[in-house]
Amino acid sequence: MNNFVSAFADRLVGFLEQKRALGFSFSNTTDFKFFDRMCAEQYPDESTLTSEICYAWATRRNNESVKTTARRMPFIREFARYLLRNGEQAYVLPIGIEKKGQKYIPHIYSHTELSVMWQAFDSIKPTKVYPVAHLVLPALVRLLYCCGMRPSEALNLRMDDVDLCSGKIFIAEAKGNRDRIVMLADDVLEL
């Protein structure tokens, strides 16, 4: 089913099944797969969730932000608690070991910067590979900017999600797996 290969394979499947039975979707099993691969490669003979394994999981990777590393911590804690509930020994990673990242400071574009950006997108030429780039990219960027949409939300839109009469855009399974509706401003709707 999930092709887990480490000594934790059966228990990872059981943990996943239990979480799904409790109503969690877990359609994205990336953490399960990465954890399984890490254990298979670095701890092939270890069948107990030790502090060494937990701290290896908690170590920040080269291509990772502090926030992404912190996002992985609940997985290993919940897996440890699952093992403990099933009578096994397991180390539970303490809360608070995650380093706080720098607070994100958004960039507010000036009118000049926005004008330069809109001019750049409006001057895109069609190519043989992407003959509608000059139409799609300016509209996409304005949709992102003017409606506060995330790139994945805009790229996953279907024709049925957009009502050009009312200016309503339906976004399925946005952040937090929640649906939401965005209303287009008149100038964006015209575009």
**Where is the domain boundary, 70, 85, 100?**
85
For residue 157, the domain's CATH number is 1.10.443.10
At 104 the pLDDT is: 67
In a domain, 104, yes or no: no
What does the buried/exposed string (b/e) look like for 102-128 if buried means 16 or more CB atoms within 10 Å of the residue's CB? eeeeeeeeeeeeeeeeeeebeeeeeee
Residue 80: helix, strand or coil by DSSP? helix
Q: What is the pLDDT of residue 107?
A: 86
Q: Is the pTM of this model over 0.85?
A: no
Q: Can you tell me whether residue 95 is helix, strand or coil? A: coil
The pLDDT of residue 175: 75
The answer to whether position 37 is within a domain reads yes
Could you give the CA distance from residue 190 to residue 179 in angstroms, rounded to a whole number?
A: 24
* Strand intervals (E) in the chain: 162-163, 168-171, 180-183
Verify that 121 and 186 share a domain, yes or no: yes
Same domain, 77 and 137: no
Quote the domain boundaries for residue 62. Answer: 9-85
Tokens linked to 151: 């790139």
191 residues of the chain, pLDDT tens digit each: 568 999 999 999 999 999 889 888 777 788 889 999 999 999 999 999 999 999 999 888 887 788 888 888 888 999 999 999 999 999 999 987 765 555 667 889 999 999 999 999 999 999 999 999 999 999 899 889 888 888 888 888 999 999 999 999 999 887 777 889 999 988 888 88
